[in-house]
């Protein structure tokens, strides 16, 4: 997995007024869960933006007032009107403990169904997996070459070494749909 460096400052004042004051300074209040104790800190709005607006998933090396932590971004709360980040939750991860994270999928190959006039539809862009930090890849590779017209790949058909996929087994990840042109060609052939 890719690594993202993050520096934050510990916050002692908690509550609504303190958080509003932080946001006026273009700082985002954050929480770090999963360790011995929860840590309240603040980070720069622009730094968090670099982490949020990317399709990649990162293991974050956070430094808060000299203490270093490895964590993943768990949740972000946004303003309902202007879509600015209001609050972020991070979850501390350890090398020897398995944890859950959503990883993006990457499609490989040229499906047979597309060659026959179908259209590739990706239903899930990310899959939730559980594994050790050392075993987590940057993305999950799915080969669609054998997919024919009207066929799909479900979560239960996917298998990754040292990873457990947590999505519903019958959820469709990718499928080749029949287009109108393909249906017309099939009807004309009959």
pLDDT on residue 28: 85
Contacts of 79 (CB under 8 A, 6+ apart): 85, 86
Please indicate, yes or no, whether residues 11 and 70 belong to a single structural domain of this protein: yes
Rounded to whole angstroms, how far apart are CA atoms 120 and 14? Answer: 49
The three-point CA angle 97-98-102 to 5° equals 140
Please indicate, yes or no, whether residues 143 and 74 belong to a single structural domain of this protein: no
The string of pLDDT tens digits covering residues 29-87 is 888 888 788 888 888 888 888 888 887 788 888 888 888 888 888 888 888 888 888 88
Please indicate, yes or no, whether residues 110 and 81 belong to a single structural domain of this protein: no
Given 52, 72, 93, the domain boundary residue is 93
pLDDT on residue 165: 85
Please indicate, yes or no, whether residues 111 and 43 belong to a single structural domain of this protein: no
Q: What's the structural domain count of the chain?
A: 2
Please indicate, yes or no, whether residues 63 and 112 belong to a single structural domain of this protein: no
Which residues span the domain enclosing 59?
A: 2-93
The string of pLDDT tens digits covering residues 142-185 is 888 888 888 888 888 888 888 888 888 888 889 888 877 767 77
CATH number at residue 30: 2.40.240.10
CA 17 to chain centre: 31
Are the beta carbons of 173 and 103 closer than 8 angstroms?
no
């Amino acid at each position: 997995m890719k690594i993202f460096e993050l520096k934050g400052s510990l916050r002692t004042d908690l509550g609504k007024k303190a958080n509003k004051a932080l946001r006026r300074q273009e700082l985002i209040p954050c929480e770090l869960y999963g360790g011995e104790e929860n840590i309240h800190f603040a980070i720069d709005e622009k730094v968090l933006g670099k982490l949020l607006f990317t399709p990649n998933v990162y293991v974050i090396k956070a430094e808060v007032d000299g203490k270093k932590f490895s964590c993943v971004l768990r949740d972000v709360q946004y303003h309902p009107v202007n879509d600015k980040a209001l609050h972020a939750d991070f979850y501390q991860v350890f090398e020897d403990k398995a944890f859950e994270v959503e990883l993006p999928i990457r499609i490989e190959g040229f499906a047979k169904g597309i060659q026959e006039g179908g259209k590739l539809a990706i239903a899930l862009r990310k899959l939730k997996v559980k594994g050790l930090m050392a075993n987590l890849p940057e993305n999950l590779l799915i080969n669609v070459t054998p997919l024919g017209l009207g066929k799909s790949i479900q979560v239960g058909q996917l298998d990754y070494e040292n990873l457990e996929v947590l999505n519903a087994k019958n959820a469709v990840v990718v499928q080749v749909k029949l287009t109108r042109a393909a249906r017309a060609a099939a009807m004309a052939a009959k």
